[in-house]
Structures are given as structure tokens and as C-alpha cells.
Amino acid sequence: MAPAALPAGAFPLPGKEGMTNAASVPQRRRPGRDGALAEWADRRLKWLLAAPAILLILALSLYPLLFSIWVSFINYDFTVPGHAFVGLKNFQQVIGDPVARWSLVVTLILSSASVVTEFLLGLALALAMVKPFRGRGVAMSVIIVPLFISPVIVGQAWALLLQRPFGPTNYLLGKLLGMDVTISWLTQTPWNFIALVVADAWQWTPFMFVILLAGLTSIPQHIYEAAELDGVEWLDTFIFITVPHLAPMMLLAVTFRLLDAVKLFDTIFMLTGGGPGTMTYSSSFYLYTVGFQQFHLSQATAGSWIFLAMTAIVIGVLVRRLMRVEAAR
Amino acid sequence: MRKASRRRRRPFGRFVLIGLWLLFVLAPLYWMFITSIKPSDDYLANPPVWFPSHPTLVHYTAALFAYRGFQGLINSLIISSAATLVSTVVGTLMAYSLARFNTGGGHLSFWVLSQRFLPPVATVLPLFLIYRSLGLHDTRTGLVIAYAVFTLPVTVWMMLAYFRQLPPSLEEAALVDGCSRWRAFWAVAVPLAAPGIVAAMVFAFIACWTEFFFALILTSRNAFTLPTVFRAFLGFQGAQYGEASALAMVSLAPSIVLGTLAQKHLVRGLTLGAVRG
């Protein structure tokens, strides 16, 4: 959205901006009835309406972020008294920590694996669900249920299913494959990574599904009918009609999901606890342990700034692009 | 024509996929439910007990009272409701300002949107320190304010999209009739946007109800919410499966009911209004 252009449905204010649309702007308000204060409030209304939200975000988001810059340059450590200025020491400690670097790799592996899995499954499901059939409404309601469940509970549920010796997963797999399955899903690599991806996919595939389904239903039906009259093959229809039409939605779904997936914390907390050792530490989990289990708060803050800087680049590029996509709609 | 295309696209493949997926979605929920009513003796049975012959509710009482799940439930209810209220009021006001007056050009709305994608660790760590020095740590008030801000971007963007959909002509008519801009907003736009406001409230509530990370760090023994109670069940190999499952059942019921009721608005909620469902 270009800052200068008024979006559809906006009406211009008289006053500083001048009157761009004199016909629709009322001039018949009765002065004196409301008094000068009301008059002033009315003219400043657009900022008065936005002010509470702006103040809340400034106080609870921007101020903490600025405060944390200060924290990251001093010693704010519950194990060391005093707040001495330490320069870049906190940053150096994080960068020099092999666990920190490994956590970045884990975050990349898990978030990309999850997002790809969810995208493919969500797309397949959306394609399967796009045409009406009996019971579609019920199926819809069931498919979206995971979106309303706390990630903590999702982690708990999968822990119940996978944990040895209690969980029924190994038993079922054993019956299915006709042999004994003794996988330690939560402590054995790569199974713990797979468990985390499965739990994430269980919860977030419906996210992709819902967005892609909305995209699919908005593709004009007559294009498909024309393709069918021309005898176009199913695969060609998919590649040359569905994909191009769905592309903006795909971008949106993947972007939104990816930006959340890199924050991965809850399922790791519940399923593997970062273990075995530090094998499944995601960046968020690493920063949490540094800050709240080792109480090196400054180091954690410095680390969170590095993490923030990395995600900010992605956010900046992708979200701006997204807003352009939306404006073009 | 539709029949022909259906035959060509092999409908059975679709239904197999949908069926398998429904099974995959329901399996963990079923297992958790069964675990919550299973006597502890059945936990380690081999083959697994798919349905207990003597269902019991002991785990529910234990989870709610011995593990303080009940207090978590009450805290969650109070905190989520209050935060939802603040977020909806403040967010709707801002959304209206953005939608009708294009306040701040595109920059303000982009700034609000970008808040949605900040990694929570980045704000929670300093917020923890600030809260401790202000005495807000481990208070409901503290978490309410934090949650109000955390849900604000979604509320603002959902309502922004909703207000843009409403034709401004009715409010313009009110202005021409001598209403103040506030009255045009309050008496004309808000009633028209009521369905959108309710949907935004539902999603804000669900977001607060299911949130874990903020609650984990900003609360401890007093203002703890339901999701943080699950920490108590970690690490004790097998001993509290029933309690954990019972608490999960209690916790997931309200958000699933609310979410299912607001299903129609789900796409807008998930995409911050970018996609109309």
C-alpha cells in the first residue's frame, strides 16, 4: 500500500490535509453545542483513536526492546552482582558458544522441514476438499481443531503417543510392519527431530490448508471449465491454472507460517526438553535456558538481539512484499 | 460436466487422503482423552488399553486440585478475558482510524503488523526485568497488559480489513446530518462491524488462552495460567499421564468450542485480514 494513496473506503479529513473532496465533507456541525474541547477532539480524532494502541505498543514492545539494548551491553546476571558496562562481551559470548550456533542450525532444519511438510500436506488437503461432498462441513471442523489447541497440549499429546514404553506408536508400527519397533522417539536422533516435525505439522498443517483452500475457491470456475472443454490434462491444469492463481496465497501462507515457525519453543519444551543434551535446542529454547535456567540475562538479551536482527531482515523483505500483494488484490 | 471431471480426478484418492488425515488429527485427541479416564494400572499395559474397562475421573480431581489446575483455570479465564477486552477496544479504535483516515500513511499499519512477527524472546526477556522492577511480575495485571499488546496486531489488522469492507457512505451520511466523527464511529460503524468485532474477540481470546511463553516467564506461583501448569508433569517418567491428559481436556474444550463457532472468520484471523474467507 503506497502511503500517499488513500485505500478504498477511506474518507479524507478536512483540516491539515485540506479538503480533497468537498462534496462529501460535512460543514453543518453545530458549533457551541459540544464546546471547544469536543471540537478539538473531533478534529484530532484520527490520532486520538490510534493513540491508546500506539502507546501500548510503545510501552510494552518498543520500550522493552530499547531497554534490552542497554541490558545487552552491561552485566545483568543473577549470578554476578552489579551492573558494570561490559561492552561487546555478551555478544561475543553468544557468538562464541557452539550451542548457540547449533541452535540456529536446529531452528533452520526444524522450521524449514515443518513448513515444507505443512505446505505440501495443506495443499493436498485443500485440493481434496475444494469440491463439495457430503460431510465436508464436519470434515472441515475436525481438520481445523488443532489450530485452537495450546502448543503445550499438542506437545503433551504427542509425548503421550510417542513416549516409551507407554505410548502406543511403537506397538502400532510393530503390528503394521510385522516386527518389533523399539524407537525412542524423544531421545534418539533423528527420531526426535521427526517427532518435533510431526507434532508441528499436526498443529499447523490446517493453517496452510485453510489459506490455500480460500485461495482455491476464489479461482474463477470458468477457467477450469474452459480447460476441460479443451481437453487439458489434470497435471497441466494444475501447473498452468491452479499454481499461478494460487501463487500469492502460497506466498502468504508460507511467509506467515515461516515467521512463526522460527520462534519454535513450546513443543520442544514439552517433547524433548532440548535433549538429548543440547541436540534439539532451537534458538528460542537456547535463549530461554541461558536467561532463565543459567540466569545469564545479559547474554540471553544479546543473543535475542542477534536473533531479532536475523529475523527482522526476513520480516522486512517478506512482509513488505506481502503488503504489496495485498494492495494489488 | 462436473460428473465427468470427478470421474477423471479419481474421487477415491481424495477421500482416502481426507480420511487418513482425519484419523491423524483425531488419534492424539482420542488417546489423550482415553488416558485421562484410564486407571493408572492400565498405563503400561501391553497391548495398549484402547478403552479402559473401569473409567475413572480421579485424574481430573487430582489435576484440578492437587496440581493447582483449578487456579490456573481461573487465572486463565480472568487474564484471557481482560486482555481480550483491552485488545479489542484499543485495537478497534486504531483500526477505524487506519481504515477511514489512513492515519500515518501505510507506515503505522506496517509498524503494527511487524509487531506480530517479533520473536517473543526479544521482548519477553527485557519485559521480565521491567516487570520485576515495577512489581508487575507474577501479577494478573502484568500478564493482561502483555497479552493485550501481544494480540493487538491481529485485532487491528482483522478490524482494519473489516472496516475497509464496510461502505463509508453510511458514516458520511451521519456526518452530513451533523454527527460528530466520534458519533459516526460509535453509533454507525461499530454496530455495523459487530460481527467482525466478535470474531476478533474470539481469536484474541484463543491466542491468550493457549499462550505459553509469556506466561512461563512473566508469572510464577500466583498468576500462572493453565498452559504453564503442564510443567508440573514434565520429567516424572509416566507417573502423571492421567493428570496431564485430564488437564489438557479441560483446557482444550473452551478454545475448540469458540474456534469452531468462529470458523467462518478463521481465514481472516489467520492472515490478519489479508485474505477474505
For residue range A293-309, list pLDDT tens digits in order: 888 888 999 999 999 88
Identify the CA nearest to B248 among candidates B78, B74, B35, B45: B35
**How many angstroms away from the CA of B61 is the closest CA of chain A?**
18
Contact A25 B175 (CB under 8 A): yes
Q: Is the bond preceding residue B47 a cis peptide, omega within 30 degrees?
A: yes
Cβ-Cβ contacts under 8 Å between A and B: the total is: 330
State the CATH number of the domain containing residue A100: 1.10.3720.10
Q: Search chain B and give the residue with CA nearest A69.
A: B126
Q: A40 and A100 in one domain?
A: no
Who contacts B67 (Cβ-Cβ below 8 Å, separation ≥6)? B229, B232, B233, B240, B243, B247
Say if B52 falls within a structural domain: no
Provide the domain limits for residue A175: 92-328
Number of domains comprising chain A: 2
Contact A323 B110 (CB under 8 A): yes
pTM of the model: 0.88
C-alpha cell at A302: 544479546
Provide the domain limits for residue B24: 2-42
Domain stops at, among A44, A63, A82: A63
Q: B95 and B29 in one domain?
A: no
Q: B209 and B100 in one domain?
A: yes
Q: Which residue has the higher pLDDT, A200 or A82?
A: A200
Say if B236 falls within a structural domain: yes
Contact B17 A57 (CB under 8 A): no
pLDDT of residue B236: 57
Say if B48 falls within a structural domain: no
Say if B209 falls within a structural domain: yes
Contact A10 B101 (CB under 8 A): yes
Contact B259 A145 (CB under 8 A): yes
Q: A182 and A58 in one domain?
A: no
Q: A58 and A100 in one domain?
A: no
Say if A55 falls within a structural domain: yes
Average pLDDT of chain A, as a whole number: 84
CA distances from A243 to A146, A237, A249, A252, B184 (A): 27, 9, 10, 14, 43
Q: A55 and A125 in one domain?
A: no
**Does the pLDDT at position A314 exceed 80?**
no
Task: State the Cα–Cα distance between residues A263 and A275, nearest whole angstrom.
Answer: 18
Q: Search chain A and give the residue with CA nearest B255.
A: A148
Q: Residues B125-165: pLDDT tens digits? A: 899 999 999 999 999 999 999 999 999 999 999 999 899 88
Say if B50 falls within a structural domain: no
**What's the complex ipTM?**
0.90
Q: A40 and A177 in one domain?
A: no
Say if B112 falls within a structural domain: yes
Say if B277 falls within a structural domain: no
Q: B203 and B101 in one domain?
A: yes
Burial call B232-261: b when 16+ CB within 10 Å, e when fewer: bbeeeeeebbbbbbbbbbbbbebbbebbee
**How many angstroms away from the CA of A266 is the closest CA of chain B?**
7
**How many angstroms away from the CA of B48 is the closest CA of chain A?**
6
Q: B118 and B22 in one domain?
A: no
Q: A156 and A265 in one domain?
A: yes
Task: State the Cα–Cα distance between residues A267 and A280, nearest whole angstrom.
Answer: 11
Q: B218 and B95 in one domain?
A: yes
Q: B118 and B8 in one domain?
A: no
Contacts of B211 in chain A (CB under 8 A): 150
SS3 content of chain B, % helix, strand, coil (to 5): 75, 0, 25
